Amino acid sequence: MRRTRFRTGITLLVVAALAPLASLTATAGPTAVPAKPFVQGTTTVAAYDYDNAIHERIEVDVPKLDGDANGITDRITVDVIRPGEAAQAGVDVPVIIQASPYYAQDNKAYFDGNGVRQVFGSWLDNYFVPRGYAVAFVDMPGTFRSTGCSDVGADLEVRGTKAVIDWLNNRVPGYNADGSSARADWSTGKAGMIGVSWNGTIANSVASTGVRGLETIVPIAAISSWYDYTRSFGVPFYDEYMGFLHDYVSNDASPRCVELTNEIEQDSDTRTGSYSNWWDPRNYNLDARNVHSSVYVVHGLGDENVKTRHFGEWWDQLARYNVPRKIFLHQGVHLDGFSFRDEWVNKLHPWFDYWLQGLQNGVMQTPQATVQREDGTFYDEPRWPAVGARQTTLKLSNASGANTGGLSIATASTDPVSFTGTDDPSQDSVVLDPTTARPDRAVFLSDELEKAVRITGTGKVSVRAKVNKVAAGIKARLVDYGTANRYTNVTNVPDTSVCWGDGNQADTGCYADTQINTAVSDTSVVVRTLADVGHYKSLYSKESLQSGTWYDLSFELNADDVVFAAGHRLGLVLTVEPDNPSIPFTGATVTLDPARSSLTLPLTGYTAALQTAEVPQSRIPSTQLAQPEPEKDPVELMRQMVEASR
């Protein structure tokens, strides 16, 4: 597989003035400032030859941390690639960091006898090093060549990765492969972090420490709370998932790291699914007030691995503390923004130029949000959620003898509805043919929309229900009845026969092509969110349910941005689900009180058709889903995380 190259002659991806700033040229005298040939106007350009880049491996001390309990201070391994011509000219450069627990699984990277990375699967170094940046690839603590232990998102990982930024600012020592001292005297001290999946998650976590020198982060498909990654409102997604995650990335280099796998699983308390203070260090939303860097959030609206809840909660907290931010939402699944190539690079390049190079390119005066619509078109918008969005409560109604309930702003009915689940989780096919009577679901439909309505942000489901068993989960599916041509799957497909060439037809971007699959259907499940009725009081405790007792349960939906077109209907489908994969479930019947239940959505657009909801007089055709079922195998989810991070 050929190495990705971004040569000096690449056509600029960002339009910029061509005349270099006079202040950036060399001047005479003892205070002369070295020239920066990579700056033209307010844009960096490919001025340095990547073939002359300096490659070095550094080991960074993590002060006062011995996570693997071997009596030796933990050390983090860092591969640095920086422009050789800049070093020769005495030009200091900022650093783009991609930290990862996956490099041991990266079969696109090869190392020489000193362990220095020679070939890179990432496009970052090939693109940004010629433009006056250094790029650093960091083995997270307890993974691959770094010592210490990983701990799935908590203090050991965060402190270890943070130390790299401290080293760039001469606050902690670093060492060359021969043991000699290594100082980052070639660095401006400004650093940015970027990454997909776990690689983006560590960017969120390090930013939440408020470390000085971290100027910006670009978390892509990133986790903001490990509790929310492994559970949904008290319902664990998989049995022993936290232990599985730790075991997968740990280098098991010390007995202490091996022991941690079992400890992490036990402390995560899969048996109850409850939240505890143990999760706090892994919940970065709690520390958003400490974020001093800017944040560029990137997420796929179809991501069922790191669900959209993660960017939604993180974004809300960043807004609360007025953190400088932008957001890029696409219709893909769990993948890198680079899959959209020109569209994404045109956004990222000036972002780094502004925050790391200090170029006054006006990027913060451009629209805050870029959103890809269902037809694949990208739109820039002033802010996100969209201007004019209002939290609108839709009430539920269920006419006696009707197969389908109503969903509207009007007053709800008092007729109860019951539905039953088995010991197996339901499938998305449960939403099909909504006007056909089925005992395993409750369906509520809006009237047909006269004009388009858009959901933009985070909604909420509130139910009053009673259960005939001691435990049960409820899944809420928000459904678009009438969808056609929605992007359903975007994946990176290795293909050296298809190259993304620049204006000179250089061999750029040959390591992967982007494949986009679309589907035509009448039905699309746009949001899926699961909750345990037993956690109706609090996520901190699980209660045994009493038959015949009414319980009030509210839970947020996963964030989304979706347009329901004219002629479509909004649908809410509720099902009974197992409450915990670690405990046998024999099924249960839930009885819902529609009069005290509701769906609240952040809506903009023409909502007049939602004022009332009548029982459909004829069958609504719906026989095909617009997207596949979410992946249910944790091993496959981990494969997706590794692939997306490359």
Least confident stretch, 111-120, 320-329, 395-404: 111-120
Per-residue model confidence as pLDDT tens digits over 360-414: 999 999 999 999 998 899 999 999 999 999 999 999 988 777 788 999 998 777 7
Span of 194-198, 425-429, 560-564, 641-645 with lowest mean pLDDT? 641-645
Identified catalytic residue from 79, 303, 353, 522? 303
pLDDT tens for 560-583 read 999 999 999 999 999 999 999 999
Per-residue confidence band for 643, with pLDDT thresholds at 50, 70 and 90: confident
Q: What's the confidence (pLDDT) of residue 640?
A: 78
The pLDDT of 317-329, averaged and rounded, is 98
Query: What is the structure's pLDDT at 607?
Result: 86
Give the pLDDT confidence score for residue 495 in this predicted structure. Answer: 34
Position 103 pLDDT exceeds 70: yes
The rounded distance, in Å, linking the Cα atoms of 412 and 437 is 21
Which residues lie closer than 8 Å to 259 by C-beta, 6 or more apart?
none
- Residue 228's pLDDT band (cuts 50, 70, 90): very high
Q: Scanning the structure block, which residue is given the tokens 């609360």?
A: 320
What pLDDT does 203 receive? 98
Residues 6+ apart with CB under 8 A from 616: 404, 435, 445
pLDDT of residue 469: 96
For residues 37-55, average pLDDT: 96
Q: Where are the beta strands (DSSP E) in 468-597?
A: 473-481, 486-493, 513-519, 523-532, 551-556, 560-564, 569-577, 588-592
Asked whether the predicted pLDDT for residue 154 surpasses 60, the reply is yes
Q: Give the mean model confidence (pLDDT) for residues 581-599.
A: 95
Asked if residue 115 has pLDDT above 60, the reply is no
Check pLDDT > 60 for residue 532: yes
310 assigned to active site: no
Catalytic annotation present for 185: no
pLDDT beyond 50 at 508: no
pLDDT for the residue 35: 84
Q: What is the pLDDT, as a whole number, of residue 646?
A: 64
Instruction: Identify whether 197 is a catalytic site residue.
Output: yes
pLDDT given for residue 32 in this prediction: 59
3-class DSSP state of 423: coil
Average pLDDT over residues 472-476: 97
Q: Which residue did the predictor score with more confidence, 591 or 609?
A: 591
Q: Please tell me which residue, 17 or 129, carries the higher pLDDT value.
A: 129
What is the structure's pLDDT at 515? 39
Q: What is the predicted pLDDT for the residue at 19?
A: 32
27 pLDDT higher than 70: no
Q: What are 427's two structure tokens?
A: 């499938």
Question: Looking at the chain, how many residues does it have?
Answer: 646
Average pLDDT score over residue span 420-429: 94
Q: State yes or no: pLDDT of 428 exceeds 90.
A: yes
Detail the DSSP E strand segments found in 537-645. 551-556, 560-564, 569-577, 588-592, 598-605
Q: Which of 23-32, 128-137, 398-407 has the lowest mean pLDDT?
A: 23-32
CB 472 within 8 A of CB 586: no
The pLDDT score that the predictor gives to residue 625 is 76
Mean pLDDT throughout 69-83? 96
Q: What is the per-residue pLDDT for 249?
A: 94
Q: Is the pLDDT of residue 626 over 80?
A: no
501 pLDDT above the threshold of 50: no
Does residue 2 carry a pLDDT above 50?
A: no
- Determine which one of 330, 334, 535, 568 is catalytic: 334
Q: Is the pLDDT of residue 441 over 90?
A: yes
pLDDT of 91 reads 97
Share of the chain above pLDDT 70, in %: 84
The percentage of the chain sitting over the pLDDT mark of 90, rounded to a whole number, equals: 73
Cα separation, 378 vs 94, in Å, equals 30
DSSP result, 121-147? S-SHHHHHGGGT-EEEEEE-TTSTT--
pLDDT at 598: 96
Check pLDDT > 70 for residue 489. Answer: no
Higher pLDDT, 226 or 2: 226
Q: Is the pLDDT of residue 518 over 60?
A: no
pLDDT at 90: 95
Residue 618: its pLDDT value, please?
A: 67
Of 113, 71, 58, 103, give the one whose Cα is nearest residue 254.
71
The region of weakest confidence among 120-124, 199-203, 446-450 is: 120-124
Stretch 45-59: mean pLDDT: 96
What confidence category does residue 129 fall into, taking pLDDT thresholds of 50, 70 and 90? very high
Q: Is pLDDT of 20 > 70?
A: no
DSSP state of 594: G
Position 613 confidence tier, pLDDT thresholds 50, 70, 90: confident
Instruction: Report the pLDDT value the prediction gives residue 120, as an integer from 0 to 100.
Output: 43
- Integer angstrom CA distances of residue 27 from 23, 33, 34, 151, 546: 9, 6, 8, 51, 81
Q: Check whether 483 has a pLDDT greater than 70.
A: no
Rounded mean pLDDT, 347-355? 97
Ordered by start, the domain boundaries in the chain are 22-384, 390-485+520-636
Token duo for residue 92: 């200091």
| Measured distance between the N- and C-terminal CA atoms of the chain, rounded to whole angstroms | 14
Fold classification of 390-485+520-636 is: Jelly Rolls (2.60.120)
* Residue 614 structure tokens: 């009548």
pLDDT mean across residues, the chain? 86
Least trusted range by pLDDT, from 62-66, 81-85, 330-334: 330-334
Q: How far apart (Å, rounded) are the C-alpha atoms in residues 439 and 433?
A: 13
Query: In DSSP terms, which residues pair with 330 in a beta bridge?
Result: 300
Q: What is the pLDDT of residue 106?
A: 55
Q: Which CATH architecture has domain 22-384?
A: 3-Layer(aba) Sandwich (3.40)
Among the listed residues 150, 187, 197, 293, the single catalytic one is: 197
Listed residue (332, 371, 328) closest to 348, CA to CA: 328
Mean pLDDT in residue range 316-341 = 91
Calculate mean pLDDT across residues 269-274: 96
Is the distance from CB of 129 to CB of 7 less than 8 angstroms? Answer: no
Mean per-residue pLDDT, 78-88: 96
Is pLDDT above 60 for 504?
no
Please say if the pLDDT value at position 176 is more than 70: yes
Average pLDDT over residues 162-190: 97
**Does the structure show a pLDDT above 50 at 505?**
no
